[in-house]
Structure formats: C-alpha cells, structure tokens
Structure 1
Amino acid sequence: MGLVQETQRSLYATVGATAWVVDALRGAPGWVGNAWRERDQVMHWLGSAYEELSERGQGIVGGAQEGLEVGAGEVNQAARRIPGAAEAEGAVVGAFTGEEDLPISHYDQLRADEVVHKLPGLSQFELRKVRGYETRNQARATVIGRIDKLCEEQPWPGYDEMKLDEILPKARELPAEEQTKLVSYEHRHKNRRTIVDGFSHA
C-alpha cells in the first residue's frame, strides 16, 4: 500500500472513530464517561477495529459528510465536558465545515494577520474547527502555526464552554498552583479580567 493510500486510510479511520464517539455521546453520555475512565481498553478496541472504522470513515467522507456535520452538531455543551470530546469534534467538523459555519465572520476575506488577531478568543473546539477549514483551503502557515500554539489542554474538561458564574466557584476551590495555570491559560485565550485579576498570585 502506497503512502497516499495509507494516509487516506488513516484519515478514514480517524473520521470513523470520531463518528463512533459522536454516536456514543449522543446516545449514552453516561457510558462514554465511564469509557473515558477506562480509556486504555477503549483505545485497544479502536486499534483492533481499525479496518472497520476506516471503512465507516470512507463511507462518511464519500457520501455522508452532511450527516456527520449534523451529528456532530447535536453533541451539546455538556458532552464537550468529557475530556477530549471538544477537541476531537472540532477537528472532524473543521474538515468538512463551510465558511458560513466558522466562528469568525467573513473569514475568507480576512488577511492572515486579521485572522490571527481573532484566534485567542476562540474555544479549543473552535480553534480546531478553524484549523481544519484553513488547512483545506488557503493553508496559510501563519494562521495554522498560531492555532497550533493555542491548541492546548483546558484547565479542566469543558472549561471553554462555561460561563463566568460557572468557572469562578470551581476556580476558588483550586490550589494556588492550579489557579496560576488557569490564569495563564485564560490570559492566552479569552483574557477575561475577572479571572486574570481575581486569581493572579503575587
């Protein structure tokens, strides 16, 4: 099997695996939560099911892209609070999304520096969505490089989806070291002064 074919098969398997996760999140979020805690077993299953997932992904890419977008869109904010769910969903949705679905208005008309300026306010899900679209279209190294620097682990799963009144009580319970990490993350992203000023340690 050539390099191109193997790359395609890997992509199809990734899409198939993500579609499986989306189905699980939609149908049984409690089960997925348990599965995450047993992720080693789940990853072993995914590895053994590589061919099956690849075939499913090929079918999605070939004839059901719209269905995947709709299915992914049904995964609500609560589901994204499962570790890794937002990132996986964003990456796959970004591979198929159109400009009108991006979190940055008039994206195709913006220069690279204008896009870069708007990136820090996006969630991890949105960043990966934009990256998928950018990679598939203009593929500007400046934009992709900046997104890659911003793609990182959230202070806790679902952080980006939370409002201030949800974040603050939980943040107050964190040890000082974790609060410092939270401030650092917040400063690089949405930079909300209530969080940055409220949990900065001298």
Structure 2
Amino acid sequence: MEHPVRDLTRYVKYPRYIRVQRQKAMLQQRMKVPPTINFFYNPVNVNLNAELLNLAKKYEVETKDVRKQRLAKAAESKTEIKAPLCLTTGVNAVTTAIERKQAKLVLIANDVDPLELVLYLPALCHKMQVPFAVVRTKAALGNLVHVKTCSCVCFTEVRNEDSAALKAAVEKVNDSVNYTEFMKQYGGNTRSERSVAKQNKKLGKK
C-alpha cells in the first residue's frame, strides 16, 4: 500500500541566513518605512536601469593588467599616456565629486548593506542639483569596477561622442525620479491576510 505524498515544507529547517532574509523582508512589509529609506526600495524601471548600466559600461575602471601595460608602454616610449576616462567610484570619492559639482550623473545601488553608507546621497544630490538614480544592484555596479560589489559610482567626464547619450539619460532620470514627491511617500505598513480577515470580521465585512 502506497502512502500518500505529503508536503513536508513546513518541517524543513532552513539555514539561518535564509531565516534572517525572510524575517527582514517580512519586517520591511509590516513596519512603516520612512521616505528616506523607502526611496531605495523603488529603483528606476528595468529599461532605464539597463540603459544607464550600458552607458556606464563604456567607462568602467581599467583593470590592474591594463593599467600595468599602459604604464609599461609609457615607460618605454618615455611619454605620458593618459589614463582613459572612467567612472568615479566609492562613497568618499563620489561624495567629494558631488560637493564640488563635478558629478554629472550619480548611480546608487539599491541593496547596499548597511544602508546608512549611502542614505545621505539622494539628499546631497538634490541639494547640489546633481542628477541621480537608484539602480539594481551593488553587484552590477561592482562589475564596472571589477570588484564583487560597489555602493555607488558617478560620471564626471565623458567623451564627446557620448555627451548626447548622457544628456538623454539625465533627462530620463529627471523625469523618472521626483525626489520631492518621493519624500512624502512612506513604505511598508501592509498587513497580513490573517490580520485583514480578523479586522473585516470585527467590522462585519465579508
């Protein structure tokens, strides 16, 4: 006699990191999230995200090997070979570029942990009138810098042939990101189905 197949999912003991992930996601849904944090839960749409990363890919930071070869050629020819134009990376460097108004467009990862590292950047960009966007993800930005993860990058200089593309990207970002409106929007604060059903029963609703 064959025993019926039972769903044993609820008996599975998941690893600690998965339990923490799920508890964190649930807390983010249930708790009232202030606008400054909720802003990072609403990155730009997929198409704009891809467009920004493709543009940034043209200005990825040169690798150690490429830099070594460039310096070797410069030493052989005894002439200075300028480094190619590339992104400014890292929180400190990006912050300095924003404060000096050298940054033309800032890209901030939406999943930085701890979030406090980049929490002030949107407000700083808004104050200094520098266009910025929250993109997916820190790993995608890390690929541009040849490291595992990167919290933020910014364009400071671009080649003439890409100036039109950057200008178009900035216009799309400005249309997509309305900082003033976002700062009025709280996140989370959603209730579970059980809680909603309990409240409806109390109010006599079906």
Same-fold status (TM-score > 0.5): no
Taking structure 2 as the reference length, the TM-score comes to: 0.25
Q: More strand per residue: 1 or 2?
A: 2
Bigger radius of gyration: 2
Q: More helix per residue: 1 or 2?
A: 1
Taking structure 1 as the reference length, the TM-score comes to: 0.25
